[in-house]
Amino acid sequence: MYGLQGRRAIVTGAAHGIGRSIAARLLAEGCDVGIFDLDLAAAQGTAQALGKDGGKVVVASGDVSSSTDVAEGIGALTAALGPIDILVNNAGICKVGKLLETTEAEWKATFGINVDGMFHVTRQVAPSMVERRSGTIVNIASWMGKSGVAAYGAYCASKFAVVSLTQSLALEIGEYGIRVNAVAPGLIVDTKMRDESEIQRAAAGLPTAKDRAKAIPLRRAGLPSDIAKAVAFLASDQADYITGETISVTGGIWND
């Protein structure tokens, strides 16, 4: 355990998958957690399930690509929790498709959630951290944010942006004691995004997650809990001299 008792966290896209696992881990570490997700019913269900194990869980619904939704939702979570110590920008989408076949709407939707969403939420939360000279931000990138991959052009580009924005923000607000890092997941199963991606990959005649996992050095696909462990570490004082980094959690499919 990483000694996060009494800290207040917001996790975006936490109704399902990796975000839900991150919220669960932060609760287990002693945090109060705010969930911000477009799917209100699922977010409420997650909050109800996670809250049974103790800890305060509050929910706000909205679209991270909308600055208005973010201002209202993050404002509500902050009012309920108090000043935020940990922000996890997790909300994201992935569309499988060759770059030249990607529509303008798909491109804009990918960047709207994966990049604009991170921008909007961070702008709502970080100023208070700077004022208090305390806090940490963890962004969820991807191993595809370090290396281009065929059939994932828009997604790769958006996650490259997450990596660079993480580095830039770390440089800008490090003097105030705020650390900004990212986690780059590899092939993660047991998520809604993975399920949707597998359908798209099958339609495109691409290998399944099960087949791809055979090539991973650790010989297994990752789980949401693998990502949650890395997030908890980066959010903790154990990582108090780490900032501007994007840590790969891939089972070895990407080494930097």
pLDDT in tens, 185-221: 999 987 767 767 667 776 666 767 677 878 889 989 9
Neighbours of 83 (CB within 10 A): 13
For residue 171, the domain's CATH number is 3.40.50.720
Matching residue, tokens 């924005």: 165
**pTM exceeds 0.75:** yes
Please state the domain count of the chain.
1
pLDDT at site 198: 63
Q: Could you report the per-residue pLDDT of 100-120, keeping only the tens digit for each?
A: 999 999 999 999 999 999 999
Which of 151, 146, 148 is closest to 99 using CA atoms?
A: 151
Amino acid identity at 158: S
The answer to whether residue 92 sits within a structural domain is yes
152, 155, 176, 241: which one is catalytic?
155
What are residue 57's DSSP bridge partners? 33
Residue 199 lies in a domain: no
Residue type at position 194: R
Tell me: pLDDT of 248 over 80: yes
Listed in sequence order, the DSSP H helices in 82-206 are 104-111, 117-132, 153-173, 192-203
Give per-residue pLDDT as tens, 147-168. Answer: 888 888 999 999 999 999 999 9
* pLDDT value, residue 254: 59
Q: Is residue 217 part of a domain?
A: no
Residue 101: domain span: 8-186+223-249
Dihedral sign (CA 170, 123, 36, 59): positive
56 domain-assigned = yes
Residue 154 within a domain = yes
Rounded-to-integer distance, Cα 164 and Cα 153, Å: 17
**197 falls within a domain:** no
170 lies in a domain?
Answer: yes
Residue 241 annotated to the active site? no
Q: How much is the average pLDDT of 132-142?
A: 98
The pLDDT of residue 213: 74
Average pLDDT (155-182) is 98
In a domain? residue 218: no
